[in-house]
Amino acid sequence: MFGLVGWIVGWVLTLFILVMIGRMIVDWAVTLQARGEWVWKVRRVTHGVTEPVLAPVRKVLPPVRFGGFGLDLAFTVVFIAALILRSIVW
């Protein structure tokens, strides 16, 4: 039974990691002035899925500013944690 639960959790983590990668790509596209309604739809979906996980971490680790550039440490920590958890589960 634990094998099935581990398999499901592993796939959920994999999907979450893929959504986080999608969020990163879409955020860069917006930063680079991408146009189109699809960009905003994808951004809304990716932020809707990832923000409930990122927001509490962001309260502890706020983004670091380098002039006009910001590095979201919460994103990095959650992404690495999801990769580690997935490797533990699988």
The alpha carbon of residue 53 and the mean position of all alpha carbons in its chain are separated, in whole angstroms, by 8
| Residue 77 structural domain | 2-89
For the record, the structure tokens of 90 come out as 């699988």
- pLDDT class of 53 with cuts at 50, 70, 90: very high
Sequence-ordered list of residues with C-beta below 8 angstroms from that of 46, at least 6 positions apart, any chain: 19, 20, 22, 23, 26
For the record, the structure tokens of 20 come out as 């986080």
Instruction: Supply the pLDDT for residue 67.
Output: 82
Whole-prediction pTM value? 0.84
76-86 pLDDT per residue, tens: 999 999 999 99
- pLDDT class of 45 with cuts at 50, 70, 90: very high
Instruction: Supply the pLDDT for residue 66.
Output: 83
Instruction: Supply the pLDDT for residue 2.
Output: 65
**How many domains are there within the chain?**
1
Which is more confidently placed, 67 or 25? 25
Q: Do 10 and 90 touch, CB atoms closer than 8 A?
A: yes
